[in-house]
Amino acid sequence: MKPLGMMKVKVGRLLAGILAILAISCQQDLDFVQESEFENESVYNAEFIPGEYIIELQPTTINFRRGGSYEETQSFMREVSIDLLAEYRIGDENLRHVFGTAVDGFSVKLSERELEMMRRDPRVKNIHQDEVIAHNRGNGNGGGNGGTRGGPKNQEPSEPEPAPAPEEPADEPSPSDPEDPNNGTPEEPESPGSDEPKNEDPKEEPKDESKEEEPYSGPSTQEIPWGIQRVGGFKKYAGNNVAFVLDTGIELDHPDLNVNVQLGRKIVPDDISTTLSDLHSHGTHVAGIIGAIDNHFGVVGVAAGVAVVPVKIMGDDGRGRVSWAIAGVDYVASVGKPGDVANLSIGASANTTFDNAVINASNKGIWFVTSAGNNAADANNYSPARANGPFIQTVSSMDSRDVMANSSNYGNPPIDWAAPGVGIRSTVLKGGYANKNGTSMAAPHVAGLRLLGNIRADGHIKNDKDNTPDPIAHRAD
């Protein structure tokens, strides 16, 4: 029989070992939740553009019959804007974009003296200094943007100007390496037999290297990303509506996307980008979450196969302007129809004209889905996240355990839903696939759901920073 002292030592060592294992297990659980801190996400200070302004006019200023084409409205508003500026001897070379459907107004370069004259004009409703909006490429910064849990809902909002510029998605592949070597998966090579492509006759047309021609009978490598599963799974879209993606464009020839090029619009000036296609990857990733095609490869989106429409409001470097975003909303308001969805995975400082454009466009029956932002702050301090209306949905971000992402903005209102936004796999450039993080990825889940019909809550998010948990979006049927 062993001495009692030796037995106590062995039992003590055994207990210590068990406790160590439990500690490691708990740490692994903690690390899993910490995925929501968004590695590589950056938050920049607001960047206002010197001498560049957005002018919103009073509705009574414009007197012409509404309902014309987008081009007709643009032409008329340009004439109106040039005439107004001429009264102050401001040359039309200073005029940038004009708006005439969602809001009436224009963007323009002004001196301080000219700005003061415009402020005194009774025809002017609002003036905002134009601001940069930007997507992050991923620079290795740490996680949670300094946010803390349990922030009070009714705290005093901060001034818009010093607010950090929102909506910086985390794992953005750079244009030089868009497929993300760690996560991206190149498009699989052609195999004998494949899906019949849209608008092609396999008996008459030659084989297209990016589309399949015949029903595929081989093994499938298509992945249903966890986010798609969490919101109720995918469904092949059979309706007549489209999804507008106001972003960096969409890769026009991605084999896993049904891109409506004819309805697309390049808003950015030619000196910023000369192509409608995406050369950055953010917009392509968003489009795949909404509607990647149900086939035998890649990923599948919520409303699988829906036509995605690029509205390019940001340059190939992932940078844009609020005025370009408003111009994009104005375009969607002109050409969109009830039941269409517009995804805005972007953000800026509080801007009344931006909000008004989104609200007015949505009142046409077009769903506008906006990301809450990634500043771990009150979404009421950011546009268009703070915009509210019966056809506007603002979305916060969560991880696969339904825990709110540390970087996600919060606040009810304006947030309507929480959706997956951590480790989201979707389409990127060169026909590839990659994971990204952010409320930019959460919003398109809800956009896809809106195309399919009603949304119901499937539980509530955990660790909501305002202590009022957001409902988790889920397909209703």
Tens digits of residue pLDDT in 457-473 = 999 999 999 989 999 99
Closest to 265 in 3D by CA, of 452, 109, 74, 122: 74
| 416: CB partners within 8 A, 6+ apart | 392, 393, 394, 395, 446, 470, 471
Q: Is residue 265 part of a domain?
A: yes
Residues 231 and 89 in one domain: no
Q: Is residue 145 part of a domain?
A: no
Last residue of a domain, one of 94, 112, 134: 134
Query: What is the mean pLDDT of the segment spanning 385-391?
Result: 98
Give me the domain span that covers residue 125.
44-134
Across 178-192, 232-246, 390-404, 421-435, least confident range: 178-192
Instruction: Please confirm whether the linkage preceding 192 is cis (ω < 30° from 0).
Output: no
Closest to 291 in 3D by CA, of 99, 151, 450: 450
Residues 127 and 232 in one domain: no
Q: Is residue 1 part of a domain?
A: no
Pairing of strands 243-247, 308-312: parallel
- Per-residue pLDDT at 203: 33
Query: Residue 400 burial by CB count (10 A; 0-12/13-18/19+): exposed, middle or buried?
Result: middle
Spell 136-156 as b/e; 16+ CB within 10 A means b. bbbeeeebbbebeeebeeeee
Residues 127 and 240 in one domain: no
Query: Residue 91 burial by CB count (10 A; 0-12/13-18/19+): exposed, middle or buried?
Result: exposed
- Per-residue pLDDT at 17: 45
Q: Is residue 188 part of a domain?
A: no
Write the CATH number for 68: 3.30.70.80
Closest to 168 in 3D by CA, of 354, 373, 5, 10: 373
Q: How many CB atoms lie within 10 A of CB 351?
A: 27
Q: Is residue 147 part of a domain?
A: no
Indicate the pLDDT class of residue 28, thresholds 50, 70 and 90: very low
Query: Does 444 score more than 50 pLDDT?
Result: yes
Residue at 166: amino acid letter: P
Closest to 417 in 3D by CA, of 439, 401, 384: 439
Residues 120 and 258 in one domain: no
- Per-residue pLDDT at 65: 63
Average pLDDT taken over every residue of the chain: 81
Query: What is the mean pLDDT of the segment spanning 100-120?
Result: 97
Comparison of pLDDT for 44 and 308, the residue scoring more: 308
Residue-wise pLDDT tens digits, 133-176 = 999 763 222 222 222 222 222 233 333 333 333 333 344 333 33
Across 44-48, 49-53, 76-80, least confident range: 44-48
Using a pLDDT cut of 70, give the percent of the chain over it: 73
Task: Please pick, among 135, 280, 282, 296, the residue that the annotation labels catalytic.
Answer: 282
Q: How many CB atoms lie within 10 A of CB 463?
A: 17
257: left (phi over 0), alpha (psi -120 to 50) or beta: beta
User: How far apart (Å, rounded) are the C-alpha atoms in residues 395 and 346?
Assistant: 12
User: How far apart (Å, rounded) are the C-alpha atoms in residues 80 and 73?
Assistant: 11
Q: Between helices 352-362 and 322-335, what is the axis angle to 10°?
A: 10
**Residue 440 annotated in active site:** yes
**Residue 174 annotated in active site:** no
Last residue of a domain, one of 108, 134, 160: 134
Across 16-30, 362-376, 445-459, least confident range: 16-30
**Residue 282 annotated in active site:** yes
Residues 126 and 235 in one domain: no
Write the CATH number for 455: 3.40.50.200
- Per-residue pLDDT at 214: 58
Residues 123 and 239 in one domain: no
Using a pLDDT cut of 90, give the percent of the chain over it: 70
Query: Residue 215 burial by CB count (10 A; 0-12/13-18/19+): exposed, middle or buried?
Result: exposed
- CA distance between the termini of the chain: 68
- Per-residue pLDDT at 46: 83
* Residue 306 token pair: 């829906």
Task: Please pick, among 277, 362, 407, 440, the residue that the annotation labels catalytic.
Answer: 440
User: How far apart (Å, rounded) are the C-alpha atoms in residues 76 and 57?
Assistant: 14
Angle among Cα 404, 408, 413 to the nearest 5 degrees reads 90
Query: Does 180 score more than 90 pLDDT?
Result: no
Q: How many domains does the chain have?
A: 2
